[in-house]
Amino acid sequence: MEKRCERFKQVVGPIAILFKLLPATVLAEVIDVEAELVKVTLRSLHSVLDVPESQDSPIRLLHPSFRDFLLDEQRCSDHRFWVYDWKAHTNLAESCLRLMSKNLRSDICGLHIPGTLTSDVESSRVRNCLPVAVQYACCYWVGHLRQGDISLCGDNGQVHIFLREHFLHWLEALSLMGKISEGVLMLTDLLSILKPETNLPAMVYDAKRFTLNNRSIIEKALLQTYNSALVFSPKRSIIRGQFLNQFPKWINSLPVVDEDWNPMLQTLEGHSGSVRSVKFSPDGAYIASGSEDHTVVLWDVRTCTLQSILRGHSGWVQSVAFSPDGARIASGSNDRTVILWDAKTGTLQSILKGHSGWVLLVVFSPDSAHIASGSDDHTVMVWDAKTSALQSTLKGHSGWVQSVAFSPDGTRIASGSGDHTVTSWDAKTGTLQSTLKSYLDAEAFVRAFSCSLGGGGQWVTWNMHNVLFLPHDRRPTAFTVRDNTLAIGHLSGRVSILEFDGNINFS
């Protein structure tokens, strides 16, 4: 009886906690149990489990309450059947590591030609070389590890050994599955649970930088994982040093590379025209960029991937802004309109028309209820963000309105113009309150951030010190700052992301 109970927990326990439904034969491979034993164990459970006859169809729980019953020590009165989820996740994490270590290898599909495109590999070949069980392991080993025993992450532990021997093989497999972005998230999650006193965090951080820096080429041509990605990684990269034996033998003299990773996390490619504006979402999870190609592009910061392209303008997008609640994006354009978008879906919600010139800047009020737009028609317009109705037109400048801001309490609006004045307005009535004349060049103003750009956009500054010179092809057409992360839009249509150590001190 005890044997049967243990087998029950060994087979049914994983079914209750899997991140993806699996057929019985695949489950057997994942948990390393003979398929016939899995079949026999499930035979008497058809009242609570849907176990299809087809070997390709997944097992399903008929009643979610059965999962709750198995995992709740109080409800499962017979402890012989109680599934301790921590232990079950640990077992699955170990099974995933074992499966990957056993099956993953360099050029797993036998492609041989380094430049083979991932898209040219037939899906049937991928399935043959990466069975479903191995694919599950590649995608979910970190998820199970997070909810299991993280002592597997100790120095020279199972995770450390796997990464030392198979990290590049894992990236190749993720490329075949189209899951490189998910791999970045997995490395981020793994980094979050590691103990700082071990050596593993440094390796995982380096692995993440390696993946981000080479994501684009690894996604396109999987074998470049062992070629371009390794060859052009910095000298002190842990991954480069670990996989010296994987360097292409057909390169006799390696190029000169940087000593270490530079602050640039990733260059985002998606625009076909110069980037005019970039902004972080309030939670820092996304970046919106507006371009001369008439589009707004939404990017995921964690994975550095393009999420959606927002099309609707017929002219350059001069300005983008997230609402403080993160629900919407506003964009202003040379086509004289402001467009409101749903930040989650990218759906166009409304087009605000009223300006007779280019819209150079858009901002939301602190409560997300209103939008102010500045234009080269010398006016500021205030709109109701919910109804899209024009609330007021603020007239008083004799030059282009190039900057607009709401006060923190939302009661006032300040606008800066090419006429060398800053004007303060009552946000509710639109009444002009005061006009301040200034003869200072805009670059004399210090931004309210530790990290910024200065010297005509040639330098990244930190606490008013020039710390990083930007080559000509890296100069900004627009930039935005979130905490210690700087996003720069370039003339080429690319967006670069740089992250800095917040504790740095140059004094």
In the chain, the largest separation of any two C-alpha atoms, in whole Å, equals: 90
Which pLDDT score is estimated for 268?
85
For residue 320, give the H/E element and its range. strand 317-322
Average the pLDDT over 388-395 and give the result. Answer: 96
Edge-to-edge strands, sheet with 328-333: 317-322, 328-333, 337-342, 348-353
Distance CA 239, CA 257 (A): 14
- The residue with tokens 């802004």 is 321
Which pLDDT score is estimated for 444?
33
Which pLDDT score is estimated for 442?
33
Question: Taking a C-beta distance cutoff of 8 angstroms, is the pair 338, 331 a contact?
Answer: yes
Average the pLDDT over 10-30 and give the result. Answer: 90
Give the phi and the psi of residue 71 in degrees, each rounded to 5.
Answer: -90, -10
Average the pLDDT over 244-249 and give the result. Answer: 91
Structural domains of the chain in order of their starting residue, each with its CATH number: 2-83 (1.10.10), 87-261 (no CATH)
pTM score, two decimals?
0.76
Confidence of residue 454 (pLDDT cuts 50, 70, 90): low
Give the phi and the psi of residue 276 in degrees, each rounded to 5.
Answer: -100, -25
Which pLDDT score is estimated for 143?
97
**pLDDT tens per residue, range 35-60:** 888 888 888 777 778 888 887 889 98
> Does 482 have pLDDT greater than 90?
no
**pLDDT tens per residue, range 148-173:** 998 899 889 999 999 999 999 999 99
**pLDDT tens per residue, range 80-90:** 667 778 888 99
